Amino acid sequence: MTRKSIWTRYGFAWVTLALFLITLTGHWIFGWYSYANEQLALQQPAEIGDYTVQMMRDTLENWQSEFLQLLWQVAGLAILLHVGSPQSKEGDDRIEAKIDAILLAVEPKKGDSLLKDIDDEYEGRHTDARFVRMLERRHS
C-alpha cells in the first residue's frame, strides 16, 4: 500500500484552511475600507492601532458567536466519530457483523480465510468476534 502525501491525506483540511484564510483576509481588508470611510466621515485620521483593536474585537465577537459553536458541532463531533465513540461505531459494527455472518453462511470453508485477508488488508479492523462465534456454534 503506497503512502499518500500530506497534501492528499489532509486535502479537505487544506481547502478549509485556505477558505478560512481567504475569508479572514477579506474581512480585514474590507473592514479597513469601512473603518477608513467612517474616520473620514468623522474627520478623524485612520490609524492602524485603532483599526487593529476594532477588527480584533469584531473578529473575536464573530468567532465566539459563530465559529466556536460551529467548530464544536463539526470538528468536535467528527473527532468523537473518528476516535470511535459507542454511538458512532454501533451502526458500522452491526453492519460489518451481518456481512461477516452472511459470508460465513455462504462460504463456511473459505469465509474465515477471506475475512482474515480482508482484515489484514484494512489494517486490523476486526468485526466483533461475538457474532462470528454465535454463527459458528449454529453450524457446529
Give me the pLDDT at residue 5, please. 85
Degrees to nearest 5, angle at CA 80 with 76 and 81: 115
CB 116 within 8 A of CB 100: no
pLDDT digits (tens, 9 = 90+) for 88-125: 555 667 777 778 888 888 887 787 777 777 777 666 55
Q: How many CB atoms lie within 10 A of CB 35?
A: 19
12-58 residue pLDDT tens: 889 999 999 999 999 999 999 999 999 999 999 999 999 999 999 99
pLDDT at 73 over 70: yes
d(CA 53, CA 35): 11
Please state the pTM of the whole predicted model: 0.48
Q: So what's the pLDDT on residue 76? A: 77
Reported residue count of the chain is 140
Distances (CA, A) of 48 to 29, 60, 63: 12, 18, 22
pLDDT band for position 133 (50/70/90)?
Answer: low
